[in-house]
Structure 1
Amino acid sequence: MNYETLNHGTAVPLLNPSYEPVSERVYEWAKRKGLFIDENEFRCCRSQKLNKFAARLFPKASKVELEQIMRLFLILFCLDDRADQLKGNIRVQFWKELLHQYSAIKKNIAYTGTSAIIEVFQEVHWGWFRQCAADKELGVRLINYVRKFLKAGLWEAKNLATNTSPTVIEYFSHLKHCSGAGIAIELLAYLNIYPFGRLVHHPHLAPLYQTIVNLICLSNDLSSYVKEAAAGDFHNLILLKEQQYRISREQSIERVKQHLAFHQKIFLNQVQLVREIPNVSPSEMELLVKAINELLKGMELWAREDTGRYK
C-alpha cells in the first residue's frame, strides 16, 4: 500500500537520523543488564535489525525518546522470541512469571539487581514513560497495552500447550494485543515534536486505529505463515482458515490478501473522515495523520527491507 497518499505526496522520512548511535547504546545497555542468554541470541537480534524497528516507526523522535522506545520494543521482541523456543507448560509458566513481575512493579514492589526486562517494566510504570504520560495527560493506556501484550503471549502459550487452535473470531480478538500494534500507535503521543497529545485518544479515532491494527496484523500473517507452519504454531490467520474452513493453503492466502485489500480501502476512507471530526484543530489532526503515515510506512519498510524475522 502506498501510504504517501495520506500526505498528499509529501515525502516520508525513512529512518531516524539517530538510529546507529542510539542502537549501539541500547545494545550496550542490554548486554550490561544481562538481557541476552548467550552470544547467539545477541547476534540473532542484531541480524534481525530489531532496533531498527523503532527508528523506522518514529523517524522524528529525539535521541532520548528513541532510546526509551527502542529499549521497550527490544524487550518485547526478545520475550516473544524466547517464548517461541519453549514448549508446553514451560512456555505457559514463562508468561505467567512475566505477568507476575509486571503486576508486582505496578504495586511498586522493588526488585534488586534489576535486569533489562524489569528495568523497562519499571520505566513503563514509574519512569520515563509514566512521566511523559503524566505531562501529556495520557493516563495509563500504555501500561495496559503492555499488560495485554503479555497476556496475549500467555493465551497463545496455553493454546499451544493443549494443542487447541482458536477459532478465527477468537484469533482476531486477540491479534491486536499479540502484535504490539496498539503500543506503537499509543507511543506517537509521547513524542514532544507532536502537539496533539490527548487527541490520539479521541473516541472518533477508534475505528481508524482498529483498521490500522488489522492492516498490520494481516500483513504480518502473510509474511510469517511459512515460518509459523514449520514451527507448528497455528497462530496465523492463513493457517487457521486453511484448517477450519478446509481449504487449500493457496485459497487461504488469497482470502487473507482479499481481506487485507478490503481493509486498505476502509483505511483510506477513514483517514478522510477523521479530517472532518468537529471541534478538533485541523492542523493537529493533519499532524496526527502524517505521524500515522510515517509509522505505517516505517513498519512496511522494516518488514520488507530490514529484518529477516518472518522468513
Structure 2
Amino acid sequence: MDDRVNVTFILIDGYVELHKYRYLYFVILLTLYILIICSNSTIVYLIWNHQNLHEPMYIFIAALLINSVLFSTVNYPKLLIDFLSQQQIISYSACLFQYFAYYSLGGSEFLLLAAMSYDRYVSICKPLQYQTIMTKTNVNVLLVVAWLVPACQVSVSTILSAKKKLCASILKGIVCNSTIQKLHCVRSTVLNVYGLFILVNVVICPMIFILFTYTRIFIIAYRSSREVRRKAAQTCLPHLIVLINFSCLSVYDVLLLRLGNEFPKIVRFIMTLQLLMYHPLFNPIIYGLKMKEIYKHLKSLFCKTP
C-alpha cells in the first residue's frame, strides 16, 4: 500500500516570510483577537443588560456578534500557535473540525443576516402585524434554524471528506477551508455537487431573499413619509453594509477551490487574513456606531460623567 494514503498530519504552507515576521504576526493577531472578543462582547452585554434592547432586531445583532466571536475562536488560537511554532502542522481530524466550524458558522452569518432583513421587512412594511409575527417563539426558531441548518449540511460534507484518502500532506493555505479537497487522492464529484448545494442553500438563497426584502423596504419607504425613510435608512443601512462586506470576502473563498493555483501565495495569505480579521472586527464597529440605541448605551458606558 502506498504510504501517501495514510497521511494523518497536514503541513500548513500558506504563511509568507514566517521565519522573519513570526513575532510581528503574533502580536498583531493577538491584539486583533482581543479587540474582536472585547468589542463584540461589549455590544452583546449592552443588548443583554438593557431592557429597551430586548427586541428582535437587537437579539439578531447579538447573535451575529456571538457568531463572529465563535468564528474567530475557531481560527485564531491555531494561527497564534503556528506563528510561534517551528513547524506548522495540524492533524487531519483537527483540520476537518476547523473546516466544519469555518463553513457552518460562515453559513450561519448569511442566515442571520436574512433573519435580520425579514425582521426589518415586517417592521417597516407590516408595522401593525409586527408584534404578532415577530414573537419570542418565532425569533427563537429563526435563531435555531440559522445555526442548525448550516451545521447539519456542512457535517455531511465533513463526513464525506473524512472518508476520502489523502495523497498529499501540504495545505496551500493557513486555515482548513475548501482547499483540503486538493489533498484528496481523487477529486470527488459528489463533494463538488454537494458543496454547490450548500452554497445555493445557505449563501445564494439568503442573499436573494435579503435583496428582495430590502428592495421592498426601500420602495415602500420611498413612497412613505420622511420618518419612515429615516427609520429604513437608520436600521437597514448597517445590515446592508455588513452583508456587502461579508459577501465580497466570501467570493474569494468560493474562487479559491476553483482558481487556487492561480493566486500567488502572498495574495492567498492576505485575503485569508482579511476574512479572518476584517469582518469580525467590522461588525461591532458598524452596529456600535450606526445603530442609534446601541451607540447611546455605548457612549454612556465609556463616557460616564462623574
Q: TM-score range by the shorter chain?
A: 0.3 to 0.5
**What's the TM-score once normalised by structure 2's chain length?**
0.39
Higher RCO, 1 vs 2 (CA within 8 Å, ≥6 residues apart):
2
**What's the TM-score once normalised by structure 1's chain length?**
0.38
| Structure with greater Cα Rg | 2
The structure in which a higher percent of residues are helix is: 2
